Chain A
Amino acid sequence: MAGELASPAAPPRIARGSSRRAAALRLLRRRLIQAVPLMLGVVVINFVLIQLAPGSFLELMTAENQVSDPATIELLRKTYGLDDPVWLQLVKYIWALMQFDFGFSYRQNRPVIDAISDHLPATLLLMISSITLALAVGVSAGVVASVKVRTFWDSLVSVAAMFFFAAPGFWLGIMLIVLFSVKLGWLPVGGMMTIGDRSGAAGGVLDILHHLILPTLALGLFYAAIYTRVMRSSMLEVAQLDFVRTARAKGLSRNQVTISHVLRNALLPVVTILGVQMGTVLAGSVVIESVFSWPGVGSLLFDSVSSRNYPVVLGIMVLGSLVVIAANIAVDLVYMWLDPRIEIR
């Protein structure tokens, strides 16, 4: 873990406000341009992967509809554009993507983007709440451990972090269900809303939050463990740096120094990792969704994979990668804001 840390130590070079904005814009533009070949690569890789699949959705569809007449099958192939050569299908797909057309799900008889956007909010909610939990717990536990370094509290935090870092999320989720739902009966076993709940909008929000607790813990605690460890070591490292020593020497209290100088700089590696891990969080939510029957993209992915609904699978991959790219750009911007000394390549 510790090996992955970027050293936040860089010579202070304070940029003025206007040039900072310009720099941010420059960064944004460069990142967006870099994203284009990246997206193209994502599309090509996944498209090729899906071409490797032995059975097509058409086979499954004709099987389910008991169609065995070769003429009908040929007609369906034409309708769905499957008689084009693979490269042409790919070109057509990319062309459609450029117009934000993610294709059509023949199985559900609706555009792919509609199918995905039905499930996206649930997944985003789970991702955001888990990351928030991870950041809140991770940062505060990391700070506590570093301020009380080599005490009981430090050890406690470290041991807890080690455990949550090693526990598989799906297993943690099941154990939480056993404890809080089956044994104690405090929290629901799964789902996002109580079925048939009609207690109004406010009640609805509370109801969703009630359902959100366990999946958030199952997904978020793993990341909380990572952030705790990163935060702790980066706090300790920053505290050694010259400018902190200077601040101390100037007579600022220890708490003041910790909060205003160390914390801000120590957050940088956490932010970096957050950006790198966005894809992992999304992927992790797939498993957690399956444990908690959370109606997100994960469940859609499962249904789609098991019905060979490849346009939707491809759409989820592409959209998932887009989310990751967007998150990375956001992280770069946050990084700039946190540490004005650094110009990002």
Chain B
Amino acid sequence: MVDRNRVTRRVFGAGVLATGLVGGAASGFAQGTPRRGGTLVATWGGGEPQACYVPAGGGSSPTFSSSKLFERLGNRAMDGQFQGELAESWKPAADFKSYIIKIRKGVKFHDGKDMTVDDVVYSISEIWKKYSAASALTDFTGVEAPDADTVVMTFSKPVPEFFFSSLLCGSVNYIVPKHVYAGSDPVTNPANNAPIATGPWKFKEWVRGSHFEYVKNENYWRKDMPYMDRLIIRYVRDPAGRAAAMEAGDIHIGVFNPVAPPDIKRLTATGKFVATPKGYEESVWSTTLECSMRNPVFAKREVRQAMFHAIDRNFLAKTIYYGYARPGTSPIYSPNKEFYTTDTFSTAFDPKKAAALLDAAGYPKKADGKRFAINLLAAGWFTENGKIGAYVKQALEDVGVAVNLSVPDRPTSIKRIYTDYDFDMAISNQANPSEPVPSTTQYFTTDGIKKGVPFRNANGYSNPEVDALVEKIKVETDPAKRKALVFQFQKIITTEAPLLPILELESITVASTRVQNHSNDPNYLAASWYDIWLAS
């Protein structure tokens, strides 16, 4: 049985993980013989998606709903190993400028048609290149199928194997049916609301405002899978409602913070639920604070460092996230086994140092006690950001910086931060996989400055040294050398401080103790859940 009394402290944890949070290593793994049949009801900590599948990703909600239907070429296991899914294997050529992918045979789409190399070629060239992985495929030159079970991707520069494997496992880099999508605009294709794919679950119905109903794919290529007959993805608008539905036994599992922190404790205390932070290692969320380089005040890096020294990240983690967060220390997050380092420049809480830095940088307190005034924008897509904004305003005012706070809603925040660059400092969020290129690096490189494209370099930071370093990271095929380069990158960025994660957020899955084989994928929200089952 699950050991409910053991409190897991993750290696990086600051010791703030609340008691009552359970889910040891055993929680996700099968006990006894899987029971077949039945219906599993799942939910997540957000709302209904705009479409069941959005080719460009479209956020966590469509990723959650589409990932049960679609599959990728590869998959990353909890232990970090890459494994084939719709591909059986892949390997680089000697010069790392092309990769040979062996495609799995005997895979059928939900409409009965065979999945072939044509579908793979179409997906890579039309969907990945144009929508889901456009920013990662900058050096991509082409894809072709020399025979019926091989696909070759070619690049203009050497591509590291870790980068390539991560690409194949990218959360929405799916293999889509060419016969459904060819000749249409993939963004508006009606099949996005009733997808046809290869995964363990088949789309049956979308009752808007309520749920998706998926049924078992009888022709699934993994023999005798999935165990269950039906998977319902239920949308409940508020956390309290989700907690009530879980308590009543109507929802079995909720991923990505389905209930409010106090309810996590209440639910796990009943012994009928487990809560686990596992399953988010490849999609770690952070709260970031950035300084716009367009404001001359932030030209000196000491001023930027001072902003971070003024903020007590432990307070934020403890009070606003009830301990379900930890201070961020690097642009690469601590669960990242490959690339995270503690050897970074520290901008820990030290208001005196912040004041001294500002004094030295030529911004002494004026007669009114203020040094300068800034506009702080907290992106309103998470309510916590507004609270963080209120705290940051106060913390900066304590060191003599006047702050005007605004907390616009999601579209206005996206527009003001990433299109209009209308902020001096901004609080936003990122969710990054282990591979730093391009997800992490595009927040810092000059080519990441793309007006109108969200979640890129919005502060205008441009440093030839960083650009050159990232170019090296991109093409370095020796894993050890690459790691050293990424360490160097972290050192520079934490010193320069144009944008830093102030918090790494702890995402939580809450599940009934009846649910077996869950939280067993490093991006569990986007896993296909083919092996989940419900004990009686």
Near A by CB (< 8 A), chain B positions 367-424 give: 409-412, 414-415, 418-419
With beta carbons under 8 angstroms apart, the residue of A109, A118, A196, A306 that contacts B410 is A306
User: Closest approach, in angstroms, between the C-beta of A311 and any C-beta of chain B?
Assistant: 14
In the complex, whether A4 has a CB less than 8 A from a CB of chain B is: no
- Cβ–Cβ contact B452 & A59, under 8 A: yes
Q: Cβ of B450 and Cβ of A68 under 8 Å apart?
A: yes
Known: A119-B209, A195-B251, A293-B241. A64 touches B412 (CB 8 A): no
Cβ of B346 within 8 Å of any chain A Cβ, yes or no, is no
Tell me if A106 counts as interface (CB < 8 A to partner B): yes
Q: Is A107 engaged at the interface, CB distance under 8 Å to the other chain?
A: yes
Q: How far is the CA of A196 from the CA of B236 in the complex (A)?
A: 12
Please state if B415 and A303 are interface contacts (CB–CB under 8 Å).
Answer: no
Residue contact B234 to A195, C-beta cutoff 8 Å: yes
Judge if B193 is at the interface, Cβ distance under 8 Å. Answer: yes
The dominant DSSP class at the B interface is loop
Chain B interface residue count: which class? Answer: 35 or more
Q: Is A63 an interface residue (CB 8 A)?
A: yes
Contacts of B234 in A (CB 8 A): 195-196
Q: How far is the CB of B152 from chain A (nearest CB, A)?
A: 26
Q: Which of B22-30, B52-60, B291-299 contacts A (4 or more CB under 8 A)?
A: B52-60
Among B184-192, B488-496, B519-527, the stretch that binds chain A is B184-192
Contacts of A65 in B (CB 8 A): 54-56, 58, 131, 187
* Cα A293 to Cα B57 with chains together (Å): 27
0/1 interface trace, chain A 300-341, chain B, CB 8 Å (1 if under): 100101111000000000000000000000000000000000
CA distance A307 to B50 in the complex (A): 9
- In the complex formed, the residue of B with least CB distance to A108 is B50
Partner pick for B411 among A191, A195, A197, A306, CB 8 A cutoff = A306
Q: Is the CB of B410 within 8 A of A189?
A: no
* A126 CB to nearest B CB, Å: 14
Q: Is B92 an interface residue (CB 8 A)?
A: no
State whether B208 touches A109 (Cβ < 8 A): no
- The answer to the question of B362 belonging to the interface, with a C-beta cut-off of 8 Å to chain A, is no
Mark each residue of chain B from 213 to 241: 1 if its CB lies under 8 Å from any CB of chain A, else 0: 00000000000000000001010111011
B411 touches A60 (CB 8 A): yes
In the complex, the chain A residue whose C-beta lies closest to that of B232 is: A196
Bound CA–CA A170/B50 (angstroms): 28
Considering residues B58, B59, B193, B209, which has the most beta carbons from chain A within 10 angstroms of its beta carbon? B209
Q: Is the CB of B134 within 8 A of A66?
A: yes
Interface membership of A55, Cβ < 8 A: yes
**Contact partners of A189 in chain B: CB under 8 A:** 240-241, 244
Does A299 sit within 8 A of B, measured CB to CB?
yes
- Complex-state Cα separation, A69 to B187, whole angstroms: 15
- Looking at A59, A118, A196, A299, the one whose CB has the most chain B CB atoms below 10 A away is A196
- Chain B minimum-CB-distance residue to A299: B237
Among residues of A, the one whose C-beta sits closest to the C-beta of B246 is: A195
Measured in the bound complex, the distance between the Cα atoms of B59 and A60 in whole Å is: 12
Secondary structure at the A interface, as helix, strand, loop or mixed, is loop
Determine which of A67, A107, A188 lies in contact with B50 in the assembled complex, contact meaning CB atoms within 8 Å.
A107
- Could you say which residues of chain B place their CB within 8 Å of the CB of A107? 50
Residues in A whose Cβ lies below 8 Å from that of B56: 64-67
Within 8 A of A (CB), among B54-93: 54-59
What separation, in Å, do the CA atoms of A326 and B529 have in the docked complex? Answer: 50
Q: Is B20 engaged at the interface, CB distance under 8 Å to the other chain?
A: no
User: Which residues of the partner chain B approach A109 to less than 8 Å between Cβ atoms?
Assistant: 51, 188, 190, 192-193
Chain A residues with CB under 8 A of B248? 194-195
| A191 to B, closest residue via Cβ | B241
- Within B438-460, the residues touching A (CB, 8 Å) are 450-454
- Given contact pairs A64-B454, A191-B241, enumerate 15 new A-B contacts (beta carbons under 8 Å): A55-B412, A63-B418, A63-B419, A63-B453, A66-B454, A68-B451, A109-B188, A191-B244, A194-B245, A195-B245, A197-B250, A293-B236, A293-B241, A303-B48, A307-B410
Contacts A/B (CB < 8 Å), 8 sampled: A65-B131, A65-B187, A107-B50, A109-B192, A190-B240, A191-B236, A295-B210, A303-B47
Residues of B within 8 A of A (CB): 41, 47-48, 50-51, 54-59, 131, 134-135, 187-188, 190, 192-193, 208-210, 232, 234, 236-238, 240-241, 244-245, 248, 250-251, 409-412, 414-415, 418-419, 450-454
Show the binding face of A for B, using Cβ within 8 Å. Answer: 54-55, 59-60, 62-68, 106-110, 115, 118-119, 188-191, 194-197, 293, 295, 299-300, 303, 305-308
